[in-house]
Every structure is written in C-alpha cells, then in structure tokens.
Amino acid sequence: MPITFTHPHSGERVTANLQPQVIVISPRYAESYSFDRAGRLLSLFMDGRSIQRTLDHRFLIRNKEGAVRRLELSPDERDVLLGRLFANLRDLRTILPESTLPPADQTRLADALDTVLAMPPEALEADAEAYRRLFLPVSILPPDQYLALVVQATIGCSWNRCTFCGLYRDRAFRVRGADEFRAHCRAVRDFFGAGLSLRRGVFLADANALTVPQPRLLTLMAIVQEVFGQPGQPPLPVFSFISAFDAQRKTVQDWTALREGGLARVYIGLETGSDELLRFVRKPGRASDALAAVRDLKAAGLAVGVIAMVGLGGDRFAAQHVQETLAVIGEMPLDGRDVIYLSVYRPAPGTEYPTLAEQAGIRPLTPEEEAVQQRTLQTALRQRFPHTRVAPYYVEGFAL
C-alpha cells in the first residue's frame, strides 16, 4: 500500500510507493520521481513534463508515444532540475519524524529516502561514467524489452550492410569469448546492484547475437544463467535478435536446446515481404527465409517478434510492399505469445538508402501516406491474428 501523509509545514500531500522493483516518491500534487532499488533516478514528472533519465545521464522529455526523437535537456537545465529534486527529497527526510505516519511506515520511507539520497547528482554522473565503460552504446531494443537487462554477447551486426540501417556502422562484428563474456556479465550485475530487481529478463545483444555457432552460443547462454539465475529455479528468460537469413543455420533441435537454456523470444526483422525490395535495400535472403525461420522457432516452442517496416521503398514499392508483407506474415503460425511490430522508416545518418532511392526515382511517402500504410497493415494483421499483439515500433524514440 502507498504511504501517504500531509507535509507538516507546507500542507502538501506526500505519497510514496515502495515496491520491490521501484521507489516512487511524490512530494506534492502533479510531481513525482521514480528510482530503482539501488537509488538510481529513472524518471520524473515536474512542471507538467515527463522526463526520462537515461543510463548515460541524459534527460529526455518524453512525448506521448515516443513517435519522434525526444527533446534533450541541456546540462544546465538538468542540473537545475536535479537541484530542486534533491532539495525536495532532503526536506522530506528532515521532516519525516514530524509526520503522523506509524513508526513502521516512517522507517520504510526513511530507508527509501536514504537510498535515493545516497545517489545525488555527482553520484549519478559517476554512475553514468561506469555505464559508458561497461557498454558500447546499446543501439536498439524491441519496445517490450526496454526494461530488460542487456548483456553484449556480440558486438555489432554480422551483416551490417542493409542500406537503411545505421545502428552498428560504428563497430566491427565480433563474438565475445566465454571468459570475457563472463566478466562482462559479472560487471553488469555489479553495476545494477539492487536495481536488478527492476529488470525483466535478459536481452542478448547486439544485433544477430543468435548467429553465434551453436556450441559457443550454448556456452554464452549458460553463463547468463550462471551469473544472473538462481540455483534450483527455472532459467531466466532470454531474448534476442536474429536475421531471417542466419536463422536457417540452426535446426529445430538447436532452437529447442536454446529454449531449454532459457531462450524465450526471438525477434526477426522481416522488413518487407517483397523480395525485390529486400534486394534493393541489400538485406540478405528472401522473405521465405523469415517464414521458414518463424515456423522452426514455433516448432521449437519459442515465441517470436516479427518486425515489418512502414514506408520502406517509397511510392514505387508501396502496393507491392503491403500486399507481399501481409501475404508472408499471414502464413506464419503466430499465436498469443507473439508480437508483430510495425516500424516507420526514418533516414539514418551515414546510410545509403536515401541516395539510392533518389537515384532510382523513388519518392518517399508523405506522412499521410505513411499513416495510411501503417493503418492498412495494422488492420489486416489484427484481423488475421486476433490474439497476437500488433504494435508500433518507434526506433527513433529509443533510449535506455
């Protein structure tokens, strides 16, 4: 139950929600701060703005759906905001003995306030530095994995030549060895500390991490369970990306062994059901590879996430893209454990697609045409799969 009391000096109503995963403190009406159980600030609502603090200590103003890139506060704005926030927390800690709360609630709230006050602005800066030393930038996650515990078993993307994607152009692909990965996992565990309670499962990053040859991959999966799992308990759920082309290198028996080791859901970037468009954007394989991969994954008892793009191929491919994407996904044996994401294409710096499309005389879809294409795909997919979630995927709105 939330702890509530009236501030003995200001008369404001104070509320605190102390959950096993998160601490939420509201010092007054329409103002609140959330922290993980290590005391790390996660987000705040102040002055009518909902603001996320990223693990690398950026402060981003959230929009309603994350549909556009979020506005980042300047360092000066951030510091002013933090100054007010921690002044309010110190005030609550000071007046707490004067409250009318029962002793047990006073003790619980005092412990929570002590935890968050132990990570003031300078400690948050140091925490961000530790994060940057521990991780190469985490470029993207599926929307349902934003609270996953990310571990980087691989660095970069094994293909990294799709003309529309610039997420991993800054790094060469490599697979971490067992000892290096174990040390990385232990460092991630120590970094999050009590904040691990907020994290939902483990995301095996970067892109295409599941392309690792099976014996090495099983070793990496075992290390995840060794470091983060609990003896005698079921394996922690693990999630990851793989390209449809690379998925064909594993058999149903391989996928079954990975499921038994904790793998729960595999995300596949179909992008489009049009083989002609796949060739144009230099994505390996064919749409039928994605269909075969999903069938194998489902036969192994795994959940899947299928990602299709909106607007890719512009006006030239629009009708073909919609028709053939619906045809391919429509043949997939999806159920209520699965998810279909629709990701609107946005030009990425340093990628070739915008130039190649212009040279080919392809006109980008207008925002209105994009919205129509998204609604068409969404409506048809929801009719075909009434028990499967169909949701937007705003890549440009991602921040960890």
State the CATH number of the domain containing residue 245: 3.20.20.70
d(CA 344, CA 66): 12
Bridge partners, residue 204, by sequence: 151, 240
Are 249 and 335 found together in one domain?
yes
Task: Name residues whose C-beta falls within 8 Å of residue 229's C-beta, 6 or more positions apart in sequence.
Answer: 235, 236, 262
- Confidence (pLDDT) at 138: 85
pLDDT score of 140: 85
How many other C-beta atoms are found inside a 10 Å radius of the C-beta of residue 256? 17
**Long-range contacts of range 84-90, CB-CB < 8 Å, 24 or more positions apart?**
84/46, 85/33, 85/41, 85/44, 85/46, 86/117, 86/120, 86/121, 88/27, 88/31, 89/25, 89/27, 89/33, 89/113, 89/116, 89/117, 90/117
The conformation of residue 290, written as its DSSP 8-state character, comes to H
**156 shares a domain with 42:** no
Query: What is residue 67's predicted lDDT score, i.e. its pLDDT?
Result: 46
Domain end (from 128, 163, 192): 128
Q: What are phi and psi of 20, to 5 degrees?
A: -60, -30
Residue 169 and residue 119 share a domain: no
User: Number of structural domains, the chain?
Assistant: 2
Residues 322 and 370 in one domain: yes
Whether 163 and 56 share a structural domain: no
User: 52 and 102: one domain?
Assistant: yes
Residue ranges of the chain whose pLDDT lies below 50: 66-68
Residue 119 and residue 228 in one domain: no
Q: Which of 128, 161, 188 is the last residue of a domain?
A: 128
Same domain, 12 and 103: yes
> 249, 244, 159: which is closest to 206 by C-alpha?
159
Same domain as 150, residue 46: no
228 and 102, same domain (yes or no)? no
Q: What is the pLDDT of residues 221-273, one digit of tens each?
A: 999 999 999 888 899 999 999 999 899 899 999 999 999 999 999 999 999 99
Bond from prior residue into 206 cis (ω within 30 degrees of 0) = yes
Q: Which of 315, 205, 232, 297 is nearest to 259 (CA)?
A: 297
Residues 74 and 161 in one domain: no
124 plus 139 within the same structural domain: no
Residue ranges making up the domain that contains 221: 135-397
Pairing mode of beta strands 31-36, 303-310: unpaired
- The pLDDT value recorded for residue 380 is 98
